[in-house]
Chain A
Amino acid sequence: MAISEKDIAYIAELSELELTSEEAVQYAGSLNSIIDYMAQLQELDTSGVEPTTHVLQLQNVFREDVVKPGLSREEALRNAPNRTKTSFKVPKIL
């Protein structure tokens, strides 16, 4: 399945990225080569292999339900590019 420049424009829009038309061509090329590479896997017979849910052979990593203090509000807001006294500040979005 080849990725067209139209697909790239759509993905860019969903990702809130602005791409020039040169960049769209370039990304279409790189994404297609990745997909071609991955397509080699399709040649393997995977019937009878349980689908992978995670690349690590780990399961059930949990924490107990215990409360610990997090950041103070000052610390939490420190790196915000735009803030009020108590909150982050973002453009309103409808």
Chain B
Amino acid sequence: MARYETVIGLEFHAELKTKSKLFCPCPTEFGGEPNTHVCPVCLGLPGVLPVLNKHAVELAVKAGLALNCDIQRVSKFDRKNYFYPDLPKAYQVTQFALPICRDGYVNISGKQIRINRIHLEEDAGKLIHSGESILDSGFSMPDYNRAAVPLIEIVTEPDIRSAQEARELAERLKSLLEYAGVSDVRMEQGSLRCDVNISLRPEGQTEFGIRAEIKNLNSFRAIERAIEYEEKRQAAILDEGGRVIQETRTWDDGKGITLSMRSKENAHDYRYFPEPDLVPTVIDDIWMNEIRQSLPEMPEARKHRLMTECGLSEYDTNRIVETPMLAFFFDEVIEAGADAKLTANWILGDISRLLTGNEDKLPIKASDLAVLIEQVKSGAINHSSGKLVLEEMFMHGGCPLEIIKTRGFAQISDASALQEAVLKVVEANPEPVADYKAGKKKAMGFLLGQIMKATGGQANPQMVREMLEKALDA
């Protein structure tokens, strides 16, 4: 059986974080009632003129800088023509001939993936179908709230060779766009979308095989699984001496398979031509520098700061910077006055654990975590109570001081109260005491446990240990 090499190129669409649409002042806000964020421009009514959103241009340039692209001095828009009811004008305004960014790259482990281009374009509307699925519906109801929301399309070169590399690139790209502050990059909400172009070729062959394009990938896991499935599907065809059909396929996440989307033969002849209603965008050095300076701290600079200024280990730094949400949160917590190393420990330990399965949103406030860290550090509560307070904050919200008070977590550091508890336990457990005195030091642990139990876990463990040692050695 022939061995094949997989060749993959990815295309990403990211919604830009603007308040208004690309060519009109309608809101981009998610989740309005159908057809309530529309105007004559984004509905494509006759006689209207689009005007380009300046902020969208700046965000596209920032994305280009984050992905090491050459920002183009002159870019312009073209019309991409096709008939589909999610497109009210019957064309999409995009950048075909002169995209805003070219020739970038993204580093993944041990490898550089080249970025061919980034261009600005408008999103399409959404088709709601009257039946259960598109197959049994009698008609469709377009909702144009998303129509003309600004997007960037990022196109990689076919430099990717495995499902794992594709996933790593997608994760890296999401993180870079998030750090650059250009997009919300939520795959499940559709603000970051990924299409995969994949072909196989016999190992050692230089020319590319025939590729299939896979759409509808809503998670990193789906990207990985769809590629693994396509590798097997295409290999089986080639093994039998068959030919892969060049086509668009859709990923069915439930069934774990890709399916052919029957499309018209001519669907890819878009007859691009220059958009006469929009003039070219020219980015001079002054504007370029302004945008460059407004780019937020990117991962490499952030790593450097966390290691040199905050004194974190390289391992902890990498784990924090890997997830922008955690990195931003880390900054907020130390800004609220918490110790950097303790903050890193809490974030990478209990907080990461509590976030498992719900990695998109932190339900606690940075200032509250800073207070909790201080409470544990000062000894007002012990570490295990601290963990319980954090869990409570995650589940029900609330301020840590309030939780400590209502749950009675405050640590007992009152010497006379502790002394009493220690003596009671020593009296009640003559055998372990005798064992300890006979040299069985393990008995100490049992006695400590009894004291913690008697005080509801609130005794200051340091003080108890000292008192117990004194009592036993007496």
Residues of A near any B CB (own CB < 8 A):
10, 13-14, 16, 53-56, 58-68, 70-73, 76-77, 84, 86-94
Chain A residues, Cβ within 8 Å of B244: none
Say yes or no: A64 contacts B54, CB within 8 Å: yes
Q: How far is the CA of A70 from the CA of B41 in the complex (A)?
A: 9
Say yes or no: A65 contacts B282, CB within 8 Å: no
In this complex, what residue of B is CB-closest to A50?
B74
In this complex, what residue of B is CB-closest to A88?
B142
Chain A residues, Cβ within 8 Å of B76: 53-54
Chain A residues, Cβ within 8 Å of B416: none
Say yes or no: A59 contacts B24, CB within 8 Å: no
Q: How far is the CA of A22 from the CA of B167 in the complex (A)?
A: 55
Q: Given A67-B19, A67-B25, are A61 and B279 also a contact pair (CB < 8 Å)?
A: yes
Majority SS at the chain A contact face = loop
In this complex, what residue of A is CB-closest to B82?
A14
Q: What is the interface residue range for chain B against chain A? A: 35 or more
Say yes or no: B20 contacts A67, CB within 8 Å: yes
Say yes or no: A59 contacts B20, CB within 8 Å: no
**Of B132-140, B234-242, B251-259, B312-320, which binds chain A?**
B132-140
B38 on the A face (CB < 8 A): yes
Chain B residues, Cβ within 8 Å of A73: 33-36
Say yes or no: A90 contacts B38, CB within 8 Å: no
Say yes or no: B141 contacts A60, CB within 8 Å: no
**Of B266-274, B436-444, B450-458, which binds chain A?**
B266-274
Residues of B near any A CB (own CB < 8 A):
18-20, 24-27, 33-40, 42-43, 51-57, 74, 76, 81, 83-85, 98, 128-130, 134, 137-144, 262, 266, 269, 271, 274, 276, 278-282
Contact pick for B282, options A60, A77, A86, CB 8 Å? A60
Say yes or no: B280 contacts A93, CB within 8 Å: no
Chain B residues, Cβ within 8 Å of A10: 266
CB contacts between A and B, total, < 8 Å? 126
Say yes or no: A93 contacts B276, CB within 8 Å: no
Q: How far is the CA of A2 from the CA of B384 in the complex (A)?
A: 83
Say yes or no: B35 contacts A76, CB within 8 Å: yes
Q: How far is the CA of A76 from the CA of B144 in the complex (A)?
A: 10
Q: Given A60-B281, A66-B20, A86-B34, are A91 and B51 also a contact pair (CB < 8 Å)?
A: no
Chain B residues, Cβ within 8 Å of A90: 85, 139-142
The distance from the CB of B86 to the nearest CB of chain A, in whole angstroms, is 10
Say yes or no: B54 contacts A59, CB within 8 Å: no
Chain B residues, Cβ within 8 Å of A70: 24-26, 37-40, 42
Contact pick for A60, options B39, B85, B279, CB 8 Å? B279
Q: How far is the CA of A62 from the CA of B51 in the complex (A)?
A: 6
In this complex, what residue of A is CB-closest to B57?
A62
Say yes or no: A62 contacts B52, CB within 8 Å: yes
Q: Given A10-B266, A58-B279, are A87 and B35 also a contact pair (CB < 8 Å)?
A: yes
29 pairs from A and B in contact (CB 8 Å cutoff): A14-B271, A16-B83, A53-B98, A54-B280, A58-B279, A59-B279, A60-B280, A62-B53, A64-B53, A65-B53, A66-B25, A70-B25, A70-B42, A73-B34, A84-B141, A86-B35, A87-B34, A88-B35, A88-B85, A88-B141, A88-B144, A89-B140, A89-B141, A90-B139, A90-B141, A92-B130, A92-B139, A93-B85, A94-B134
Q: How far is the CA of A48 from the CA of B116 in the complex (A)?
A: 27
Chain A residues, Cβ within 8 Å of B19: 65-67
Ranked nearest first, the 5 interchain pairs of A and B with the lowest CB-CB distance are A70-B39, A87-B141, A65-B55, A68-B25, A62-B54
Chain A residues, Cβ within 8 Å of B24: 70
Chain B residues, Cβ within 8 Å of A62: 51-54, 57
Contact pick for B134, options A84, A91, A92, CB 8 Å? A92
Contact pick for B35, options A13, A59, A77, A92, CB 8 Å? A77
The distance from the CB of B417 to the nearest CB of chain A, in whole angstroms, is 61
Say yes or no: B140 contacts A93, CB within 8 Å: yes
The distance from the CB of B192 to the nearest CB of chain A, in whole angstroms, is 20
Contact pick for B142, options A55, A66, A71, A87, CB 8 Å? A87
Contact pick for B26, options A14, A54, A67, A72, CB 8 Å? A67
Chain B residues, Cβ within 8 Å of A53: 74, 76, 98, 274, 279-280
Q: How far is the CA of A18 from the CA of B138 in the complex (A)?
A: 25
In this complex, what residue of B is CB-closest to A91?
B139
The distance from the CB of A90 to the nearest CB of chain B, in whole angstroms, is 4
Q: How far is the CA of A45 from the CA of B123 in the complex (A)?
A: 40
